[in-house]
Amino acid sequence: MYFLLGWPRVFRLDTELSPAIISVTSFKDKRFFAILTKDGISIWLSKPTLQLVYHQRSENVCAEWKDDSSRMAISTSRGYIIFFQLERDLSVSHLFHCADQRSSKKKESSELFFVNHRIPAIRMKQDCAIRISGGVQCMSQVRDDLFVSCGDGIIRKLSWDGSTSEKNNIAISSLPFCLDLDDQPRATLYRNKSVFVRQMQFCPLMGGLALVLSDGRAAFLIPQSIKFEPTQCRCVLAQAPGHESLQRSHLCLAANHRYRLIAYGCSSGEAILYYLDEVTGAMQVSHILVLPPEKFPETSKHTGPLSLLKWSPDESVLVVAWESGGFALWTAFGALLVCSLSGDFSMPNDACFLHLRSLEWAAEGYELWAVPADGGSEHFCILDFARSMTAVNYYGSPNDVVLLLTGDRLLVSLNESQNACSSSRGWLQVLLPPAYLSSNWPIRYASLDESGQCVAIAGRAGFAHCWLPSRRWKLFGNEGQEQNMAVTGSMAWWAEFVCLGCFDEQTQCNEIRLYSRHCKVDNLFAHSTRVPTLVSCVSVLRDLLVAYCSDNALRLFALRTVQADRAELLRLQEIALNYCVPHPYCVLAVLVTSLRAEPASPPGQSEPESILINCSGRLLFLARDRLVNAVPGRTPRSFTFSAATPIASCVEQVWCPRGGPQRAYLNNALWLDCGAAGIKVWLPLFGLDKSLSGFMAKRIMLQFKPEFYPLGIAVDDAELVGVQVEVSQYEGVPEPYCAIQRVKCVCLQHILRQLLRRNLGPHAFQVAQSCSDLPHFSHVLELLLHEVLEEEATSSEPLPDPLLPRVLAFVREFPHWRKTIAHCARKSEFAWWPHLFGVVGGARELFDECLRENDLETAAAYLLVLQNLEPPLLSRQLAARLLETSLEQYRWSLARELFRFLRAIDPEELHVDSPRGPTSPKDSSSFSFSRKASMALDLVPQRTRTHSRDKAPPLRRHSSGGSRESLGERADEFLDAILRKQVRAMLSGARLKELGAFGANLLSRERLVAMLRREEAYSVEHFPSALLRLHDEFGWPKPALVASGLPNRPLTSGYLLRTLSIHDDAASTNGDACDSGLLTPALAAARPLDALVLPLHPKEECSSHTTEESSTANESAETASNYSAADSDVILLPDLVPKGDSRAEQQLRYLFDVLLEGECFEWAFLVACALQEHHLISDLSAALLHHTSARKHIQQVCTHLDKGLAQLEEWVNAECLGYRMFIQHVRQWIEHLRRQLAQRHQAEAEDLSEHEDSALPTPPRDDQDEPQPDKADVQASTSNCRLS
């Protein structure tokens, strides 16, 4: 197959005369081109593109070449035919000389190098001229003669030397016309006596002459003899049942000999392809080429008549051009490859190939020469193409690898596991060796081995192979051997050997040769086996090689390794195909496969079981006769095949996997590409029930149409592989740039659908089960459901046998069927939903089932469906229900999206009872799930709120007349209620880590603090349990003793810490502890962890809190040394405080700050205890002292802390002695806190009393005043309550 590549190349004629180009034609070998202008003719070389000769000749109309390219006939506008003779100009040794200066020293010794690089000079000489009465309409070569159609309805037969005979002329009016050969007795003469032949082409393989009559009818002239005797010729008119309007609209034609088709262009812009019926000889319609209206809704109506048709050199692609402009490429059986009328080709009016007058393919189809239709055009353009090797070499590459060949490079698209060495756009570009191209261009064949690592190419002579990872080519070292060998058939790899059919020029013999890629490319290291005729196709499976030869016979050989790098062929047998193949040229491919008509269950090894022959698109199946092969005494290498059986028609490509137990159905199926008919899969049906296996077919043919033209099949992924042309338009350049990209599409859903349609559900389930491990299997089920839903929901009439119930029942067999239905609904039209949920059930029920199954993501998908099916109020209730569940299960990402969903609901719609309906893309209330949400989402608007602890008022349904601002506030209160409920549940369950994750993922820190303040006090019921859960959640280690003998007696006042103080100033809690005078410099220097516990000696017991700041390091050291082991065996130093993971410590500190700001003092106290850091206790005390709440609330907090501390003391003494020292320190802190609070409250009471007294009349004073407290004592008491 052919695909546009790169930019068109534009050439201009170098002549002073009128350079308006009329047409372009080529020699038979496609190496030389003749460009005909009104005033002359020029001969061009294809590679390199050079003009060799120009001959001036006026009044030219059209030109025709002789098959051997030695003569040319040119018709003129005056009714003459002028014959020219072309010969080499021996007076000039060469016209141009191409030499490689970089390697000239290396190649000067080879005379052959200079001969091949010298472009010869060509001379044109006029031979004779003949006047044709009636004028020349067209010309066509028929064997050794030239047929000329005249305007008077006569077909004249001329010799190339100019001689003619009147008795050999064929008059259209005297020919009998019929619809088929069986209708010959009723054949009549043509009624229109003035009709003549507008265009004709000789079809040797079909045995006649294809005609286009002047009245628009298509006909086929069939002679009784090869001499075209006028009295022995009959004409068969083409008939197109159902297309009567096209029967008289034919304008041009192009015959395809390999596929036995004749393409006719019509005035309606369509092309009709006919074939000759083998039984009746009638011209029947094979298919019609028409632009698909779904892709070309407008352009297909304005294309105008189809004016040009031209088949590619391998006759696998047809290029067409319309009179109004544009061209397209179609495969032989109607698959559209490229069309310049698509939106991608946005070409201006001056593009070189917008309107075309003439087309001609170059050698091997790598180039297409095009002439614009402008009246004064003096230029022509060349379009470059990349060609797929499946068109000429079916074993050119593995099934999942795309191999394309251009004029100078290979494009290899490897599979995913081998794609590491690929280059841009997923292609591995391998430049062809210039040393080989210089003398052997163009490349005709290419083949890639099964590993995708080694590729072989063959051109005009010889061959070369390359190891792709290193890009290293191996060529013939002996150029004589290279030029003596020409590859005539396809190539195939067997292990490390390349197998090819060739013709040896030196011995004039046809051979099959084996070359090892590890050895030098030389005949000394090759094994050759002679065959009587030319080899056309080669196929290999395991150790069996099948070669198809031009004598219409298959020859089977056994492959065997002789040495490490040598192999040999053993002849097995020969199979004649004369009874089923009309001509060897019609054989497109021959494949030896492991395919069996009755597949084994389970499948076995890939032994050769059958041979497939593609003959003009008709696939023939030769099955191995196992009953004959099982006869005792027959050698294992003896194969007997049954008669050829046609299994498919219109086949362009064939893929047959090697078979295997994995994905048994797909690996043992036959995959066919049938052009416009799509893909056909000959699928095996393994017996599920032995009692019914005898009444069931063993295979079934399934058919579907892919999205693009496939070039391979990745069976392991159940995908089709192909390429697409990407068109780019650049400013200032009228012509577009074309690039090729590898594409894939899933095809499994089509197979499942066809099986379900045929009531083969058990087989469909087995196929799906074998592919359930694919990463895109869920997508396959979605596509299956979506395609069936679209077809049935958009049907204008009720279907008698709907497929949707069967598909839904099939989808329910898999675990994630609810997710499949939800995703299908979201990707479908809203109008299809009633049809879908009318069969599968209500979306509300599916939503509830997802919640029961804990499938929250799928429930969220159904929520988007319910948003359009249910009233907004019910949608909000369901979303709130799902939100609460997601918060309980810590699905933070889903919760963020649900909050967005709830906030997107318009509050004014909540009172509407009708469903919301589909939302437009621009609707602000539309919502889609996104995984890229921010980590901190401020879900509640930043409105000023009081820090009162009153509960939020209950939600009430608003009236329709309320303001939009009040509606928005109530919606925010609804969300706030859900959040507060979750926060309350987390704190009541002592799930502080989840609370931290909740705030980090859903709320900003300010919003979390505000939410904590709005609720009532979150008290702790049992402090030891909460502390243990805190350790477990964060993986934080509990303190342990470093020595035994910790005294079990409670600490007396002698153990009062010097660090104990309650600071009235909250800002001083973050300062250096040495500034307070309560820490010695030695301990202050060793304070990296901020938690120091050092008991004092009993004899230094203090009776009151001191505020002295004269403590020195010597006093502290002496104090520590005086503390004997008899009093206590443990000194807890900073480096012995247990520490956990740094991340856990960071999370605990974050939680402490949030809880403290949110006035959750009891939980903040537990976090401080877990960290055992005294400065956190100091922060807590400062927050309590400076708290602005009521006195009753502060006293209640202190009471709870006192009760919790008692619980901790009991638990510490019983289970965790490591906490003992710190808890006793906290006990002292509680007592000092109470005293400080009592003093503060007493002072406040006195201030209030004085204020009240000042408001009353002054009573008479007594003689004795009450004693006032000393201010110094109050200041000392206050400063002693500072905690460093």
pLDDT at 915: 62
> Which tens digit of pLDDT belongs to each residue from 427-437?
899 999 988 99
pLDDT at 785: 95
At 563, the pLDDT band (50, 70, 90 cuts) reads confident
Parallel, antiparallel, or unpaired: how do β-strands 402-405 and 409-413 relate? antiparallel
Asked if residue 1108 has pLDDT above 60, the reply is: no
Q: Is the pLDDT of residue 1284 over 90?
A: no
Q: Is the pLDDT of residue 782 over 80?
A: yes
Residue 1268 pairs in a beta bridge with none
Q: What is the DSSP letter of 851?
A: H
The token pair at 549 is 């030869």
Q: What are phi and psi of 1281, to 5 degrees?
A: -95, 40
Measured distance CA(1204)–CA(1212) in Å, rounded: 12
Decide if pLDDT at 973 tops 50. yes
For residue 342, the 8-state DSSP code is S
- Give the integer Cα–Cα distance in Å for 1143 and 1154: 17
pLDDT band of residue 604 (cuts 50, 70, 90) is low
In order of 951, 1011, 1187, the CA distances from 946 in angstroms are: 12, 11, 15
Q: Does 523 score more than 90 pLDDT?
A: yes
- Structure confidence by residue, pLDDT tens digits, 901-950: 888 877 766 666 556 555 433 333 333 333 333 334 444 443 333 333 33
Q: What would the pLDDT profile of 450-506 be if each residue is shown by its tens digit?
A: 888 999 999 999 999 999 999 999 999 999 999 999 999 889 999 999 999 999 999
Give the span between the Cα atoms of 899 and 974, in whole angstroms. 11
Judge contact between 289 and 339, C-beta under 8 A: no
Residue 1161 confidence class, pLDDT cut points 50, 70, 90: confident
d(CA 474, CA 889): 64
CB 174 within 8 A of CB 230: yes
pLDDT in tens, 308-365: 999 999 999 999 999 888 899 999 999 999 988 876 665 555 455 578 899 999 999 9
What is the SS3 assignment for 202-252?
A: EECCCCEEEEEECCCCEEEEEECCCCCCHHHEEEEEECCCCCHHHCCCEEE
Residue 239: band (very low, low, confident or very high) from pLDDT cuts 50, 70, 90: confident
Rounded Cα distance, 953 and 972, in Å: 12
Here the tokens at position 1245 are 């009471």
Mean pLDDT along residues 837-856? 92
Q: Which residues contact 209 (CB under 8 A, 6 or more apart)?
A: 140, 142, 147, 200, 201, 202, 203, 220, 221, 223, 228
Instruction: State the amino acid at position 436 in one-letter form.
Output: Y
What is the dihedral sign for C-alpha 895, 898, 904, 908? negative
Position 734 scores a pLDDT of 75
Mean pLDDT of 1274-1284: 35
Phi and psi based region of residue 1158 (left: phi greater than 0; alpha: psi -120 to 50; beta: remaining): alpha
Residue 1069 has pLDDT above 60, yes or no: no
User: Which pLDDT score is estimated for 902?
Assistant: 86
pLDDT of residue 231: 87
- What residues contact residue 979 under an 8 Å CB cut-off, 6+ apart? 939, 940, 1002, 1003, 1011
Quote the CA–CA distance of 756 and 749 in Å, as a whole number: 11
| Angle between the N-to-C axes of helices 856-869 and 817-826, in degrees from 0 to 180, rounded to the nearest 10 | 40
Question: HSE (CB half, 13 Å, CA atoms) of 184?
Answer: 9
| Most distant CA atoms of the chain, gap in Å | 166
Q: What global pTM score does this model have? A: 0.79
Of residues 839 and 687, more confidently modeled: 839
3-class DSSP state for residue 1110?
coil
Whether 210 has a pLDDT exceeding 70, the answer reads yes
Mean pLDDT of the chain: 79
Bridge partners, residue 34, by sequence:
25, 43
The Cα 1028–Cα 1023 span in angstroms is: 9
Residue 1283 has pLDDT above 50, yes or no: no
pLDDT at 421: 44
Q: pLDDT at residue 1106 above 50?
A: no
Q: Return the closest-CA partner of residue 306 out of 199, 385, 155, 381.
A: 199
